[in-house]
């Protein structure tokens, strides 16, 4: 059955289709480096997702259902039926870093074709509580504080190792330790390299118990914790907190309830823009 006749000429789904068709293929190159089995075309998936958002459909399962049952979705997907896992993986993994460029290009197309004027644009925001564990928070200030303490502890430990070696007049003069720099510049990558050098040194001096104890502390305690803090900082970005069970949720003060109790809960600060016609 040909669906073309069932789609009105000026329908929004045609606008989305035309806007995405104009996108430069280079936008998708990083997300699809090649190799592996055949994939759905990224432009098709982008069309489906953007049109779904215009219809206030955000769940990957609901989008997949619409592709199977809704004529507009069938048409824009070219009768293909990506499942909810494919849709979710596409928008959360493959296209996560380029979605902003895609939406900017679509908005530019709408402005060029006079679908929007962007002369009187209004933005409003509201807080929506997330379905996340309210006790699973990670605070940015705590991460910075604990990371600084750990870096200082690692620097102190290396300084103790260096002092012990100088006292024993060993063949190692602490040159490896100087590469770490100040405590604030210690990264998990630098620490990993330093620990490997110490482990190699320990093979030459297996009876050095203080060195063995220090290497064990670095490998099993300090290094994993530093890696954890760096991961947390990456997830935080510019935010002050996030939920361990939903990294997109930030802890914020919600509106007061009927007994004027404003609680700190995980949620989203949703912004909506509209143009006055």
pTM for the model stands at 0.56
Nearest CA to 222 out of 165, 146, 162 is that of: 146
The helix/strand/coil state of 253 is: strand
Beta-carbon contacts of 70 under 8 Å, excluding residues fewer than 6 positions away, are none
Please give the residue that has the higher pLDDT: either 102 or 166: 102
Judge whether residue 94 has pLDDT over 70: yes
Whether the pLDDT of residue 174 is over 60: the answer is no
| pLDDT value for 161 | 77
pLDDT tens digits, one per residue of 11-39: 989 989 998 888 888 877 766 666 555 57
The interaxial angle of helices 99-112 and 12-21, nearest 10 deg, is 120
Tell me: pLDDT of 271 over 60. yes
User: Do residues 177 and 211 make contact, with C-beta atoms less than 8 angstroms apart?
Assistant: no
Longest dimension (CA), the chain: 88
Phi then psi dihedrals of residue 5, to 5 deg: -70, -20
The pLDDT of residue 167 is 67
Q: Which residues lie closer than 8 Å to 265 by C-beta, 6 or more apart?
A: 129, 130, 134, 251, 252, 254
| Residue owning tokens 């670095």 | 218
The residue that leads in pLDDT, 174 or 121, is 121
Q: Where are the beta strands (DSSP E) in 159-229?
A: none
Quick one: pLDDT at residue 82? 92
User: How far from chain centre, in Å, is Cα 153?
Assistant: 29
User: pLDDT tens, 97-140?
Assistant: 777 778 778 778 877 877 777 677 778 888 888 888 878 889 99
Q: Quote the CA–CA distance of 68 and 82 in Å, as a whole number.
A: 9
Model pLDDT, residue 173: 46
| Lowest-confidence segment of 72-76, 186-190, 273-277 by average pLDDT | 273-277
Instruction: Report pLDDT digits (tens) over 210-242.
Output: 888 888 998 899 999 999 999 999 999 888 999
**Quick check: 49 pLDDT over 60?**
yes
| Residues 125 and 250 sit within 8 Å (Cβ to Cβ) | no
- Report which secondary-structure segment, H or E, holds 159: helix 140-168
Q: Which residue has the higher pLDDT, 85 or 118?
A: 85
Task: Please give the structure tokens belonging to residue 85.
Answer: 């896992």
């Amino acid at each position: 059955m040909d669906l073309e006749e069932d789609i009105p000429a000026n329908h929004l789904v045609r606008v989305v289709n035309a806007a995405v068709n104009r996108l430069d293929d280079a936008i998708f190159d990083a997300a699809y480096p090649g190799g592996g089995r055949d994939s759905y075309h990224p432009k098709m998936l982008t069309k489906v997702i953007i049109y779904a958002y215009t219809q206030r459909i955000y769940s990957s399962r609901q989008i997949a259902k619409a592709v199977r049952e809704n004529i507009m979705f069938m048409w824009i997907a070219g009768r293909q039926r990506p499942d909810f896992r494919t849709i979710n993986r596409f928008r959360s993994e493959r296209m996560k870093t380029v979605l902003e460029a895609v939406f900017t290009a679509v908005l530019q197309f709408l402005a060029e074709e006079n679908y929007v004027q962007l002369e009187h644009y209004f933005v409003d925001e509201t807080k929506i509580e997330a379905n996340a564990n309210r006790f699973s928070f990670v605070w940015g200030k705590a991460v910075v504080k604990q990371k600084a303490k750990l870096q200082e502890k690692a620097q102190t430990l290396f300084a103790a190792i260096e002092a012990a070696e100088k006292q024993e007049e060993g063949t190692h003069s602490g040159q490896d330790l100087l590469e770490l720099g100040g405590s604030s510049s210690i990264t998990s990558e630098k620490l990993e390299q330093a620990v490997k050098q110490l482990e190699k040194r320990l093979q030459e001096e297996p009876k050095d118990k203080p060195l063995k104890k220090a290497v064990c502390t670095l490998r099993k305690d300090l290094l994993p914790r530093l890696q954890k803090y760096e991961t947390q900082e990456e997830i935080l970005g510019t935010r002050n907190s996030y939920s361990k069970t939903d990294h997109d949720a930030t802890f914020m003060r919600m509106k007061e309830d009927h007994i004027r109790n404003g609680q700190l809960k995980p949620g989203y600060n949703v912004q909506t823009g509209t143009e006055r016609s």
